[in-house]
Chains A and B, each alone.
Chain A
Amino acid sequence: MLETFNFRVIFEYMPFFLKCFTATLWLSGVGLVGALAVGTLACAMRISGSKLLSTAAGVYIESIRSTPLLVQIYFFYFGLPSLGIMVTEEITGVVALSLNSGAYIAEILRAGVQSIPFGQIEASLSSGLSYFQRMRYIVFPQALGVTIPPMLGQAIVLVKDSALLSLIAVTELTRAGQIMNSERFMPAEGFFTSAVFYLVIYFMLKSLAGWSEKRLIFRESR
């Protein structure tokens, strides 16, 4: 049983956990920025008229969505050295995270752009709006409402996915639990503390998502 649950050791390890907490925030933050870049590019390619670009983006998106992130991480971790590319685990991990989430974000963006009825584009064209005005006043405000809530959902997934980086020896929250487990043989203290930190991030992002859903979604009056 857990009557030996030791809070003293948790306090002792707290600075380490906080360091790892910021590491997780950093990794997911950088991963998210990378994923947004990759996702925007992939989405632009996917909806561009060019058959070649669209197919290339489609292959990328489907192959990412059909394989587990862990396999992708191992693919880069074991694969890059065999191509002669030597980078740190952190970079490998962030690249894998960005490429993984990028595929999902591309799909979210595509859904956002396609949610705007073509009639509205036509209407704005015939009202004489410029491209910038059309984007600023017609497309963007509506697409934002459809895009932001699932995007925050993807951010939650990304934070949780960053836990897998511990398996290629990146020091982050889950790794902190593992290290505490191996140094003090206290699995409960280590992994429960990691879990609590993840829950903090989860609830912050979740309340943000709930707020944005209420605030941003453009609803037609019923």
Chain B
Amino acid sequence: MWKNYLTRLVQSLPFFITGLWMTIAVSAISLAAGTLIGFFLGILRTRPNRLFRYLIGAWVDVIRGTPFLVQIFIVFFILPEFGIHLDAFPAAILALTNLGACFICEIVAAGIRSVPWGQKEAASSSGLTEWQQLRYVVMPQAMRTILPPLVGQYVLLIKDSSVVSVIGVTDVTRVGWLTVQRIPHGLMVFGLVGLLYFIICYPLIRLSNLLEKKMAKGTR
């Protein structure tokens, strides 16, 4: 019986590859946008301006304190009440970008705070402008702290992208969900889905570990 299932599963492999591309597309777009916005918010958060700091802090808390599934539902079901009608794909991108930006903002802010205050003072008394201080003194040192958890965060976001399958984005998780209705062998079908995620995520986890070791070595 399971041989029959296996043959049918192999036959529907192209379907899984299409889903995998969708997962990669959703993750790549939201990761790129989330990184940009996250860096921007993170830098803004470490500025002396209190208003920005509290506003960003509150938003980050709200996003980190609620499940991504609930956020997806809010974007997909509640934004239409505000007159914003999004298809599943843009809704998924919006929700995932927002989630990524919030987590990356925290990582970037922590990285900037890890740079000793004296460095900034020295830069400022050498006559560097605010932008130059950030660009040439603070950020290069902060990147050492930022990079390993950033790659780790990418893994978490790629995994979170599986949740967008519930609003009908045909990513690899949804392909698995659709396939298991035809091929009723959950272990096999979701084993394959898991394997596909593993292929993407495992190298990134190794990269994160490697960066962590490398960065730790540099500070000694």
Q: Spell out A's residues near B (CB within 8 Å).
A: 1-2, 62-63, 65-72, 74-83, 156, 160-164, 166-167, 174, 177-178, 181, 187-188, 191-192, 194-195, 198-199, 201-203, 206
List B residues 156-184 near A (Cβ within 8 Å).
Answer: 159-163, 165-166, 173, 176-177, 180, 184
With beta carbons under 8 angstroms apart, the residue of B64, B82, B163 that contacts A164 is B163
Contact at B201–A163, with CB atoms within 8 Å? no
Residues of chain A within 8 A of B160, CB atoms compared: 68
How many chain B residues sit at the interface, stated as a range, is: 35 or more
Say yes or no: is B185 at the interface (Cβ < 8 Å to chain A). Answer: yes
Indicate which residue in B83, B155, B190 contacts A71 across the interface (CB closer than 8 Å): B190
Total residue contacts A-B, CB cutoff 8 A? 141
Q: Which residues of B contact A187 (CB under 8 A)?
A: 73-74, 77-78, 81
Stretch at the interface among B87-95, B108-116, B128-136, B191-199: B191-199
- Chain A's closest residue to B1 (CB) is A82
- A166: chain B residues at CB < 8 Å are 69
Over the window 22-45 of chain B, the binary record of Cβ atoms lying under 8 Å from chain A Cβ atoms (1 yes, 0 no) is: 000000000000000000000000
Residues of A contacting B: mostly: helix
Known contacts A163-B69, A202-B65, then 13 further A-B pairs from the complex at CB < 8 Å, ordered by chain A residue: A66-B155, A68-B160, A68-B197, A71-B176, A74-B176, A75-B194, A79-B185, A82-B185, A164-B67, A164-B163, A174-B73, A181-B77, A191-B70
Shortest beta-carbon distance from B177 to chain A in Å: 7
Give min CB distance, B158 to chain A, whole Å.
8
Q: Are B73 and A66 in contact (CB under 8 A)?
A: no
A180 to chain B: closest CB distance in Å?
A: 11
